[in-house]
Amino acid sequence: MKTYITTLLFLLIAICVNAQNSTLDFNENKAEYLYHFAYECIDQEYPNKLNQVIGDDSYLAPPRELHPTFYGCFDWHSSVHGHWTLLTILTEFPDFEHRDAIISKLKKNITKENITKEIAYFDDEHNKSYERTYGWAWLLKLDEALREWDAPEAKKLQQNLSPLVNLISGKFTDFLGKLIYPIRIGEHSNIAFGMSFAYDWAKKYDKVLSVKIEQKAREYYMNDCKCPLTWEPGGFDFLSPCLQEASIMQKVLSKKEFEKWLKTFLPKFEKNPAKFMEVAVVTDRSDGKLAHLDGLNFSRAWCLFEMGHALNNQLMIDLGEKHFNYSYDKMDSGEYAGAHWLASFAVYALMKAPPSLPKGEK
pLDDT 10s digits, 324-339:
999 999 999 899 999 9
Give per-residue burial for 131-166: e unless 16+ CB within 10 Å, then b.
Answer: bbbbbbbbbbbbbbbbbebeeeebeebbebbeebbe
**Closest to 352 in 3D by CA, of 38, 141, 161:** 141
* Number of other CB atoms surrounding residue 311 within 10 Å: 18
Q: Is residue 207 part of a domain?
A: no
Predicted pLDDT at 23 = 80
User: Does position 4 have pLDDT exceeding 90, yes or no?
Assistant: no
pLDDT band at 9 (very low <50, low <70, confident <90, very high): very low
Q: Are residues 154 and 246 in the same domain?
A: no
Q: Are residues 117 and 240 in the same domain?
A: no
Q: Is residue 81 part of a domain?
A: yes
Is the CB of residue 251 less than 8 Å from the CB of residue 199? yes
User: How many structural domains is the chain composed of?
Assistant: 2
User: Does position 241 have pLDDT exceeding 60, yes or no?
Assistant: yes
**Closest to 336 in 3D by CA, of 30, 46, 52, 33:** 46
Predicted pLDDT at 22 = 62
Predicted pLDDT at 133 = 98
| Residue 270 lies in domain | 224-362
Q: Are residues 144 and 238 in the same domain?
A: no
Predicted pLDDT at 354 = 87
Q: Are residues 271 and 336 in the same domain?
A: yes
Question: What span, in angstroms and rounded, lies between the C-alpha atoms of 30 and 9?
Answer: 28
Rounded to two decimals, the pTM is 0.92
Tell me: the pLDDT tens digits for 189-237?
999 999 999 999 999 999 999 999 999 999 999 999 999 999 999 999 9
User: Does position 124 have pLDDT exceeding 90, yes or no?
Assistant: yes
Q: Is residue 34 part of a domain?
A: yes
- Residue 215 CB partners (closer than 8 Å, separation 6+): none
* % of the chain with per-residue pLDDT over 70: 92
Phi, psi of 287 (to 5 degrees): -95, 115
Tell me: the pLDDT tens digits for 10-69?
333 333 433 334 689 999 999 999 999 999 999 999 999 999 999 999 999 999 999 999
